[in-house]
Amino acid sequence: MKFFLFLVLLGAPALAADGEDDNVELDVPSRLSAPPLATVASIPPERDLLSRAVAVGGFLFVEHEGQQRQLTIDATLQRQLTEVLQNYQTPYAAVVAIEPSTGRVLAMAEHSEVDPGLRGLSTRALYPAASIFKIVTAAALLDVGVSPGEELCAYGGKRKVTESQLLDTEKDTRCLTMARALAVSANVIFAKFTSRYLDAEKLKVAARAFHFNVPFRFPVPTDMSLASVPQDTMQLALTGAGFGDVYLSPLHGASLASVAANKGLWRPPVLFEGEPAVVPAERVVSEDVAAALTSMMEETVTDGTARRIFHERGMGVPGAVGKTGSLADKTPFRDYTWFVGFAPRENPRVAVAAVIVNDPHWRIRATWLGREAMRLFLTKSR
């Protein structure tokens, strides 16, 4: 699907976009007819820095552009997470951990049981963002003045949303606040919030502020995460709820989670020690919006879609904040699950993004993997 990204910025909105050309024609693949995972190829071996890295004294070094460079990667965490993916024989999976305050990448673990030689799963935008995009929608709603406590009522909508469900009717027996709708990932409520308060331009601005449709600069080949934001009211509502043609890389997902951790600032990911970010931190949302997002995402963990995983006996992560996402394709069957988040809330030390693409007989899903990435890092670094 081709669409024109055309943003008109008036004044200085709280949701800021960078200064690159906003009249860009992007070719966004259809999830149903042309899923990126179906044609994925490995990144070039010479640019696969982690597979070429050598451990020296507990640190990882790699030759890059004629120099020996130390990676920011935590060698222990990288090994632990890679072993988890291999032991659970994940069909396709990747997990990225970042230090939010600096952007230092702590781990980029990946594994494909389907294609063991496949590399690049942590930096490629192969996966539908699903309900992770609700974070962007929520930021756009907060930016136009919608309160986390504002309530809408609806019915149905767990797996699909229809036009009739966007209208207020006598069938609307489930009433949720925006905060609760994010925590339990209520698709129809988010679609209804989108149709009532947002238009395509507002959602495009929010998506671009969170670096969708923006080239990603990183030493390892990294896809631009794509978001098609349609003008059609119904399709816009579906996109806002997480059903659109929107693709996210795990590296981008960890950086996206870091925005709330950093009180609204985007810090570019860094892979080499001692190297400042290529571009400085930029404000994506106001501190107030970031604080509201953090509170809403915390409810996902304490009493939402991630509650069960984060409350397993002895496996908790104090102060964890996050968002889950899931989406399934039927032909062929692909079960995409996501988790992005950070911890602890009051002093963020690690932000993570985990994605797993399972077949019908799965062993682990992304929320479990994301929790383990947080838990292993925080336990080790006490």
pLDDT digits (tens, 9 = 90+) for 87-145: 999 999 999 999 999 999 999 999 999 999 999 999 999 999 999 999 999 999 999 99
56-65: pLDDT as tens digits: 988 999 999 9
Question: How, if at all, do strands 54-56 and 59-64 pair?
Answer: antiparallel
Contact 232, 3 (CB under 8 A): no
Percent of the chain predicted with pLDDT > 70: 92
Rounded Cα distance, 186 and 77, in Å: 34
Mean pLDDT confidence for 226-243: 97
311-358: pLDDT as tens digits: 999 998 999 999 999 999 888 899 999 999 999 999 999 999 999 999
Cβ-count burial of 10 within 10 angstroms (0-12 exposed, 13-18 middle, 19+ buried)? exposed
Contact 258, 266 (CB under 8 A): yes
Question: With 80 as the cut, is the pLDDT of residue 292 above it?
Answer: yes
Token representation of residue 321: 């904040």
CA-nearest of 245, 225, 138, 126 to 186 is 138
Q: How confident is the model at residue 369 (pLDDT cuts 50, 70, 90)?
A: very high
Rounded Cα distance, 261 and 344, in Å: 9
Token representation of residue 253: 């997902």
Rounded Cα distance, 124 and 126, in Å: 5
pTM of the full structure: 0.92
Q: Which of 1-5, 11-15, 354-358, 360-364 has the weakest average pLDDT? A: 1-5
- Domains by residue range for the chain, with CATH: 66-319+327-380 (3.40.710.10)
CA-nearest of 362, 367, 364 to 352 is 367
Rounded Cα distance, 266 and 262, in Å: 7
Helix (H) or strand (E) holding 179: helix 178-183
Mean pLDDT confidence for 177-191: 97
Q: How confident is the model at residue 11 (pLDDT cuts 50, 70, 90)?
A: very low
Question: With 80 as the cut, is the pLDDT of residue 381 above it?
Answer: no
Q: What HEC string does 197-227 produce?
A: HCCHHHHHHHHHHCCCCCCCCCCCCCCCCCE
